[in-house]
Amino acid sequence: MNEAKIIILGTSAILLPVTVIIIFVIFYSRRQCFQREKLERIEENHRQEMLEASVASQENVRRQIGGDLHDEIGTLLSATRMSLSQVTKYEDNPAKRKILLNQTQELLNETLNNVRRLSKELMPSTLDEFGLIIALKDFTEKMTEYTGVMVCFSQGELLEVFDKKIELVLYRTAQELVNNALKHAKASVISIQLQVKQNDLVLQVSDNGIGFDLMEVNQPNRGIGIKNIESRINVIKGKIKFDVEKGRGSSFEVSITL
């Protein structure tokens, strides 16, 4: 009988820690599964937000282009058509006919100039022909000249031309951040830096403005804001870091693995 008790107690002593381990493993596995599901939901929500921001950004661009086509080019083409229709009425008046033809030519030239401007907005010619470094230099020089705000550009030892998609995203990001600093931050100095750190291409944009609250600008009633920039960078699998708060200058760092 004593031997049976000893066997039972020994077996219990062995089974108890095994049972505890099994329970712990089951609990830990469930907790890990729960954490993974939670993380997946967060990532899915973030992807959805980025998608919505990207769609909103594209829609804004379409509306802007549509408005330009309708208001400017459409109006000019209508005026050109009317001018041409007037030409036929003055076949017996060469002087008037010449005036109308010259007027029509001027309207066509203005229309072509507007089409070229729209094309440059969609894909800046400097960026397309000479690459990101020259395009950023040109952009900062023009911003300084046009606004009176010191917009500076510096680079590391970068000589190469990068992938067109990466260059366009970084150029548009720099444009938007500079425009935001000019419109809202009341900055007097804006700095753009482009360099390679280890295996990453890094764009830094900073200003000495009044700053802002990141949560406030990302509210739905404030427009797409920073999410627009995030969605653009997300397309090329880049990352962006914010160093912002009210009352001081802002700094943004975009990094893309080459």
C-alpha angle 57-65-177 in degrees, rounded to nearest 5 = 45
The residue that leads in pLDDT, 218 or 174, is: 174
pLDDT of residue 152: 94
Distance CA(208)–CA(187), nearest Å, equals: 5
Give 87's pLDDT tier (boundaries 50, 70, 90). confident
Distance CA(174)–CA(191), nearest Å, equals: 10
Instruction: Assign 212 to helix, strand or coil.
Output: coil
Tell me the per-residue pLDDT of 182-201, one tens digit each, with 9 for 90 and over: 888 888 999 999 998 888 89
Instruction: Work out the average pLDDT over 74-100.
Output: 76
Instruction: Work out the average pLDDT over 91-118.
Output: 78
Residue at token pair 């390679």 = 196
In the chain, what are the domains?
A: 1-122 (no CATH), 125-257 (3.30.565.10)
Query: Rounded to the nearest 5°, which phi and psi values hold at 169?
Result: -65, -45
Give 56's pLDDT tier (boundaries 50, 70, 90). low
Question: Does position 219 have pLDDT exceeding 60, yes or no?
Answer: no
Lowest mean pLDDT among 13-22, 49-58, 241-250: 49-58
pLDDT of residue 6: 61
Question: Does position 36 have pLDDT exceeding 80, yes or no?
Answer: no
Instruction: Work out the average pLDDT over 80-84.
Output: 74
Instruction: Work out the average pLDDT over 82-102.
Output: 78
pTM check: above 0.75: no
Distance CA(28)–CA(16), nearest Å, equals: 18
The residue that leads in pLDDT, 220 or 134, is: 134
**Beta strand ranges found along the chain (DSSP E):** 150-155, 189-197, 200-207, 239-243, 251-257
Instruction: Work out the average pLDDT over 115-130.
Output: 72
Question: What does the radius of gyration of the chain's CA atoms come to, in whole angstroms?
Answer: 31
Lowest mean pLDDT among 111-115, 165-169, 170-174, 206-210: 111-115
Tell me the per-residue pLDDT of 140-187, one tens digit each, with 9 for 90 and over: 998 888 888 899 999 877 666 788 888 988 998 998 898 888 888 888
